[in-house]
Each structure stands twice: as structure tokens, then as C-alpha cells.
Structure 1
Amino acid sequence: MIEEPLPGQRAGRVMLIIAWLLAIALGTWLFGNWQEGKRNPNQAPQSRHGEGFIEIRLASGQGGHYLLDGRINAESVTFMLDTGATQVAIPLAVAERIGLQKLRPIQVNTANGTARGWSTAIDSLQLGDIQLHQVAAIIVPNMDGEQVLLGMSALKKLEFTQRDGTLVLRQNTVE
């Protein structure tokens, strides 16, 4: 004859199972955040204000890339700094999500060849406390992912230096 567990024993087993499930879920969440932090260590960039300038220091992520969370027209995006890109390049899905208008059609030269895209204008681009206005950009329909390439149309408005895995972006606030 099989004995039924007492009500207290059954509740204890259920609580143990729930505790294990919560521990596994918490571990998964923590590991995911740790991985994201290694990929993009600049999710909340700190700005430093000096006499006549604002600067942010960026740590390189996995693979040596500089990723940075910021905003385009007050909408959150993740940037990848790309000094080889002439303009800020925005994937079509991101452009649609943040409400950018396609202006005139253009040909875009990429590492994978020529593609079509559209010019657009960014009213406001924010990197930490650094604010840029009226930045030329392109919308690229076949660009994978959610990352916006922060190209020279934005970077030329800043001073930047890179040394020992740290990139410093500086905006002069005195004309």
C-alpha cells in the first residue's frame, strides 16, 4: 500500500520546487545581465563636466568595439562607434520604431557592397550629457540588428581619443 504524504510534507515539497525554480530564474537573469554588461559596458555612461567641456569615457566591450546607450530624438538606442562610417547609419526597423522620416533615396556603400537607403535628419542625438543637433544620417533597410552606427556626421562634432581600451568623447561647450 502506498502512503500518501501528509499535507505539511506536500506543501514543503511544493515550496522546495518553487524555491529551485526561482533560484534558476534568478541565476539566468543575473547571467544574462552579466553577459550584456560585458558586451556593452556603457549602458549608463557617466558624463564629466569641466570648464568649457562635457566628456564621457567609454570602455571597450567584447571584441574591442565601443557600444554606448544613448538617444535619438528622445528615443533609446544603442550606438556602435564607427569612425569608418561617413554618416550615422540606422537600421530600418530602428528608424521606424523611433519615428524617423525617410527623406530622399540614396545609394549606400557598405562593407557588403552597394545598397539603397534613405537620407534622414536627426534633430537631437544624446550621448550621456553630450547633446548634438541636426545630425545627418542614413536609414539602411538591410542592416541587421538594433545597433545604430555612430559615424563621422556625429563624431566630427566632438573630439575623441582612444587609449588602453578607453575612448573619451569630448564636446566643447564654449564656442
Structure 2
Amino acid sequence: MRNFVILGLAVAASVAIPAVYQSDPEAFHQFLKPAGEATVAPAEPAPALKIVASPVPAAPEVLLGRKVKVSADARGHFIADFKLNGRSVEGIVDTGATTVAINRSTARHIGISLRKDDFKHEVKTANGVTRAAGVVIERMQIGRIVVENVPAAVLEDAALDGTLVGMSFLSRLSKFQVEDGALLLVQ
């Protein structure tokens, strides 16, 4: 019986430690430092637009035809897996965003390479003004909904943490609406 209790505690710790780390990595690292070690606070970088997604987004419900229903998470956000140029990317649907916005790492992941001088457009974000590169995503897909040649903005990783699915994608659908706590997308 004692072995089962020890095994149960080990399993609980293996589940709890990653959750604690995700919620506050800096506090976790502070906890692990030896007692006599001095701490030097790093210089604060420019704030990034941080997209905090659910630990595991609910899979979108693919309906008959070219319809998809995305349930809201606990905070009311609509987060789902999209395919950008055939690569899976988690995105948060943002009707307030003029265009699809991705960061530079995501751009690389979906096969878009950029140079520093490509970042020539000034854009306004929730955290202020930053530079962006204009690109076209050849193919965006969620469920059976497929939209080709979607205009997008690429921001540096420090300015955007995640993917925003904005109006440059949504406006190409025949309908999108919220009903019963879910976002219905129809092509």
C-alpha cells in the first residue's frame, strides 16, 4: 500500500510541476535557485502582444458542408488549429484584427522567409506601434473551409506571441457568427 501512495505522489508531482512552470516560469526558477545565490533582474524588453491560449484548444466541430463550429474557451476566446500552407498552427480568432497576424517563427514554420528590410510597414497593436512585413499565405484551412491567397502581417517574435486570425481570412467566408457560446464559420 505504501508503494501505491508513493507512486501516486510521484504521478501527481509529474503533472503539477509542468503546470506550475507554465503559470509562472520565473517564480519556478527562483524556487530552484540555491539559497545564497544572488538574483539580478534582467532588463525589461519591449512588451510583446502575448496570446495566452488554453492548454489544449477544443477541436473545432466540422459540420456538413463547409462549416466549422469553434467553442469558446473559459475566457470566451475562440482558439482552434488552422493549417497555414499545410502546416498546423494554433490561432485565436480576432474580429478586431484587420488582417491575419503571425510572428516570424510561425512564418518560417509555414515556409515564408523574410529579410530584415521586409519589415517596412508600421502597424498599431494593442501594445503600441511596431514594424511588420506584408505577406500572402497561400492556403489557410480549418476543417473543410479553405481560403487561398490570404493577406497577412508578420511581426517579430518579440512583438507577437502566437497567431491572430483576423478579417483578411474571416471576410472571405460567407458567414461567421457567434451562437450559443460557439463561433460558426461558413464558406
* TM-score > 0.5 by shorter chain: yes
Distance (Å, rounded) in 1 between the aligned partners of 2:75 and 2:171: 24
Which of the pair is proportionally richer in strand?
1
Aligned positions, number: 151
Deviations for 1:102-149, whole angstroms, at most 9, x for unmatched residues? 38421112122221110111011111121111000010113342x210
For residue 97 of structure 1, report the CA deviation from its aligned partner: 2.6
- TM-score normalised by the chain length of structure 1: 0.72
Distance (Å, rounded) in 2 between the aligned partners of 1:87 and 1:144: 14
Segments of 5+ residues of structure 2 without an aligned counterpart are 21-52
| Contact 2:102–2:160 (8 Å) recurs in 1 | no
Counterpart of 1:160 (choices 164, 170, 176) is: 176
For residue 49 of structure 1, report the CA deviation from its aligned partner: 2.1
| Change in 2 beyond 3 A, CA 1:26/1:40 | closer
Cα RMSD (Å): 3.0
| Contact 1:119–1:136 (8 Å) recurs in 2 | yes
1:22-171 equivalences under 5 Å are 23-24=11-12, 27-28=15-16, 39=54, 42-50=57-65, 54-102=66-114, 104=118, 105-141=120-156, 142-145=158-161, 147-158=162-173, 159-171=175-187
Task: Give 3-state SS (helix, strand or coil) of 1:39's partner.
Answer: coil
Distance (Å, rounded) in 2 between the aligned partners of 1:96 and 1:56: 27
What percent of counterpart residues are identical? Answer: 32
- TM-score normalised by the chain length of structure 2: 0.68
Task: Give 3-state SS (helix, strand or coil) of 2:163's partner.
Answer: strand
| Contact 1:102–1:139 (8 Å) recurs in 2 | no
